[in-house]
Structure 1
Amino acid sequence: MKLASLRIITKDIRQSVQFYEKAIGFTVQWYTEDFAELRTNSVTIAIGSTRTMKMFHGEDVTESKDQSNIIIEFLVADVDREYERIKNLTDRIIQEPTTMPWGNRSLLFRDPDGNLINFFTPVSPEAIQKFK
């Protein structure tokens, strides 16, 4: 089995695509006005409008009353440098760069739809080894 992509469903696809292009630094490939993809070196982030969910038996299976329990995580070369770039992109910073007990320095923020994103850089010898 191979993880192929993560898909984000949004009410405002243009806003989400623009946000992710700026946050990640990859250019989007549009397939329809309701579906686009950002291909990174390790995973594809698919972004679909809520209208695409009608194709799944006409149900909005993404409707949830609770906050999402998922964090989209990106390994970055320098989380502090990324923070300097991201802090001008969003006012939804949850945690400024902080070294976590497991050895990663992490920046946590939300996208326009409220999804959590973690940019992290391994800093402890163990974490650096893990991500080699």
Structure 2
Amino acid sequence: MEKSICTWHFFVPVATTLSAGLNDDTPASCASRSKEESTMKLVSMRLIVQDIKKAVEFYELVTGYQAEWLAHVSAEIITPGPVPVPVPVLAIGIVETVVFFKENCAQPASNQSAILEFMVDDIDKEFFRLKEFGIEFFHKPKKMPWGNRAMQIRDPEGTLISFFTPVTDTAINRFKR
């Protein structure tokens, strides 16, 4: 599988905030761009955590890549991603960084709806690798209805993490787009 280099950022409470910015005054043309005319790209997912050191150590263990600390409140991990599907940036920051956006817009350890997903070459090999570290599994590898074989764990702050390997032709082809 051809790989590209992608970056995961870590800053210090676990929450992800995404605002579509659409309201009754938004022109319809802004809500429905074609791929050819769109300049918007999803490039980052930010986790706000209580304990950045613990979170970064966990994601280093899980990904197998070492973090680069950008400041005492932020770090990033660069992981390979499938081409042409780029992996967005995973940003992790301390609760004190939230005020740079809007005070109280994100709270640590409160995510109950988002799942971080990592595509891996061999889900069973990854299961046994992580099992050696004593990681508790939310569920062990199993085939999902959409064609992936997947397992799930939680990070130290409770964020659900899914690891998957596409196993059906439809799922495999979905990641070749």
The normalised TM-score by structure 2 is 0.68
1:27 and 1:127 map into 2 onto residues whose CA distance is: 29
Larger RCO (CA under 8 A, 6+ residues apart): 2
User: What SS does the aligned partner of 1:112 have?
Assistant: coil
User: What SS does the aligned partner of 1:85 have?
Assistant: helix
Q: Residue 13 of structure 1 is aligned with which of 27, 41, 52? A: 52
Cα deviation for residue 126 of structure 1 reads: 1.5
- Return structure 1 stretches of 4+ with deviation > 3 angstroms: 64-67, 88-92
Count of aligned pairs = 131
Cα deviation for residue 68 of structure 1 reads: 2.1
Distance 1:61 1:21, change over 3 A: same
Cα deviation for residue 47 of structure 1 reads: 1.2
2:148 and 2:121 map into 1 onto residues whose CA distance is: 12
Distance 1:89 1:100, change over 3 A: same
Deviations 1:28-86 (A, max 9, x none): 111111111122232222111112113234x2221289642000111110011111112
Higher-Rg member (1/2): 2
Identity %: 41
Distance 1:67 1:90, change over 3 A: farther
1:27 and 1:65 map into 2 onto residues whose CA distance is: 23
Q: Give the structure 2 partner of residue 88 of structure 1.
A: 132
Distance 1:130 1:72, change over 3 A: same
2:110 and 2:66 map into 1 onto residues whose CA distance is: 31
Q: Give the structure 2 partner of residue 25 of structure 1.
A: 64
Deviations 1:75-99 (A, max 9, x none): 1100111111122335431110001
Question: Does structure 1 residue 39 correspond to structure 2 residue 78?
Answer: yes
Between stretches 32-41 and 62-71, larger displacement belongs to: 62-71
- In structure 2, stretches of 5+ residues that fail to align are 1-39, 81-86
Q: Give the structure 2 partner of residue 55 of structure 1.
A: 100
2:175 and 2:100 map into 1 onto residues whose CA distance is: 38
2:48 and 2:110 map into 1 onto residues whose CA distance is: 15
The normalised TM-score by structure 1 is 0.89
| RMSD of Structure 2 on Structure 1 (CA) | 1.9
- In structure 1, stretches of 5+ residues that fail to align are none
